[in-house]
Amino acid sequence: MLAGLLLLAGCTPKTVISQSYDFNQMNRIGIMGFTTHYNDLSGVENLFAKYLIESGFKVVERAQLDQVLKEHNISVSGYLSPATTKKIGEILGVDVLLVGEVTSYTPTRTELTLVSSHKTESRPVYAQTIAPGPDGRPAAHLQQVGTQYSQSTDVRPSEYTINAQVGIIAKLVDVETAEIVWIGS
């Protein structure tokens, strides 16, 4: 199901799922803000929230999560200790935390290229012949004697868009054990 989330988000997922974790016990999910070093990119975690809610999970609002962390003076910067994850789990009543990082980002851009199209045209070639007509007098007749071919090339500029590419690593961390139960990129 979570691999499907990444696929729906437009990525080619590479996931690892814990074989021993009982995903049926996972009901409420807290989503932490994803770390990023790209100023243009924020809110990636909202896509995950959307797909998790569509899949039937209860998702704790990120602003609420941030507020609770602030009120309890809990600082989260990359590493989550087992004590910290357990405390967050107890305070918010979540089973797992989704944490992530934006690892790469290439913005949308347009490219200009020259597109050439080749066209070949053919025209019949006629010749006039003079031969005696039915009444014996000379008459002119047109007869196809061949085909003339011409080729042309048309070169025009064409603009196309290359969509943004975002690299993401996301992890589901069990709040009781701080064990990573799912990781995907």
Structural domains of the chain, ranges and CATH numbers in brackets: 2-107+164-184 (3.40.50.10610), 110-161 (no CATH)
- pLDDT, tens digit, 9 for 90 and up, residues 59-100: 987 777 777 777 777 766 556 677 878 888 888 888 998 888
Distance CA 21, CA 52 (A): 18
Please count the other Cβ atoms lying within 10 Å of the Cβ belonging to residue 52.
18
pLDDT for res 115: 92
User: Tell me, what's the pLDDT at 5?
Assistant: 47
Angle at 35 between CA 32 and CA 36, to 5 degrees: 145
Give the angle 3-16-8 at the CA atoms, nearest 5°: 15
Whether pTM > 0.75 for this model: the answer is no
Asked whether residue 11 carries a pLDDT value surpassing 70, the answer given is no
